[in-house]
Amino acid sequence: MALSGVQKDRGDLRIHESMDELKTDLADYIAELSDVSVKERGFFAIALSGGSLIGLMGKLCEVPYNKTVDWSKWYIFWADERVVARNHADSNYKLAKDGLLSKVPIVPSHVHSINDSVSAEEAADNYEFVIRQLVKTHVVSVSEINDCPKFDLILLGLGADGHIASLFPNHPALDEREEWVTFITDSPKPPPERITFTLPVINSASNVAVVVTGEGKADALHLAIEEVGPDGSLIPARMVQPTMGKLVWFLDKQAASKLKNSDLNS
């Protein structure tokens, strides 16, 4: 059984005994949010990340979720994307398509990947434009406190350096407050060119889930949840603080092994 708890101002922590348990809990959580959004709004606007996340969402392709989820109401976006061709091994779209989207009955026109034939700057501008059109038609809600899109769910991974989406430590993209989608050409993790949701968009979502596994992420997770860095600086994951929405951390025991103060119950 998962241990769960609340860390003051840092959301709900769900720590899982096994990978299988984490995958089932994550699939249940996503399926439930999809049900609620479809009932309340008629759509489910979900933003994915790349990396290990897609494999951890794998149960959604299996019974019962593949039959019970209302896939026809899903609208898919990416919280970050690498600026490479859609069929390139580094593409977050390709990862999600091969691992998830091709295995469930998603409507192809509801899958909003970036334009892969333009520069990173143009891809970011185009992507923001696409999201603006979908906000106008209410497919994506709008935040009550700023003009940002309010995604029903944004799913994030965590890098060992503390990055989320393509927001890396000490990068000026962390300070972007005007744009919804920005670009970088100097990612410390290859490939260098990426687009990414900005912090105001991430923090305007109704729900944000950060999915973190493995001992290699334990230090970053500790800094994201419990402590600021030695110089008082915040890692990007620490800046994920939904203003009105709910934040949940899906963790395995290895990733959670350096948490000290969390108040956990089984």
**Between 50 and 200, CB nearer to ligand LXAUTJHC:** 50
Contacting ligand LXAUTJHC within 162-191 (CB under 6 A) = 165-166, 189
Angle CA 130–124–161, to nearest 5: 125
Stretch that binds ligand LXAUTJHC, among 120-128, 133-141, 159-167, 169-177 (CB under 6 A): 159-167
For the bound state, the minimum distance from the C-beta of residue 128 to ligand LXAUTJHC, rounded and expressed in Å, comes to 18
Identify the sign of the CA torsion 101, 38, 109, 126: negative
Q: Are 263 and 13 in contact (CB under 8 A)?
A: no
Write the interaction track for ligand LXAUTJHC spanning residues 35-64; mark x where CB under 6 A is met and - where it is not: --------------xxxxx-----------
Q: State which residue has the least CB distance to ligand LXAUTJHC.
A: 51
Count of chain residues binding ligand LXAUTJHC (CB under 6 A): 13
- Other Cβ atoms less than 10 A from the Cβ of 39: the count is 10
Q: How far apart, in whole angstroms, are the C-alpha atoms of residue 58 and residue 86?
A: 21
**Between 80 and 193, CB nearer to ligand LXAUTJHC:** 80
DSSP for 200-247, written as a single string: HHHTTSSEEEEEE-SGGGHHHHHHHHT---TTS---GGGG---SSSEE
Q: Are 204 and 148 in contact (CB under 8 A)?
A: yes
By CB under 6 A, name the binding residues for ligand LXAUTJHC. Answer: 49-53, 80, 92, 156-157, 159, 165-166, 189
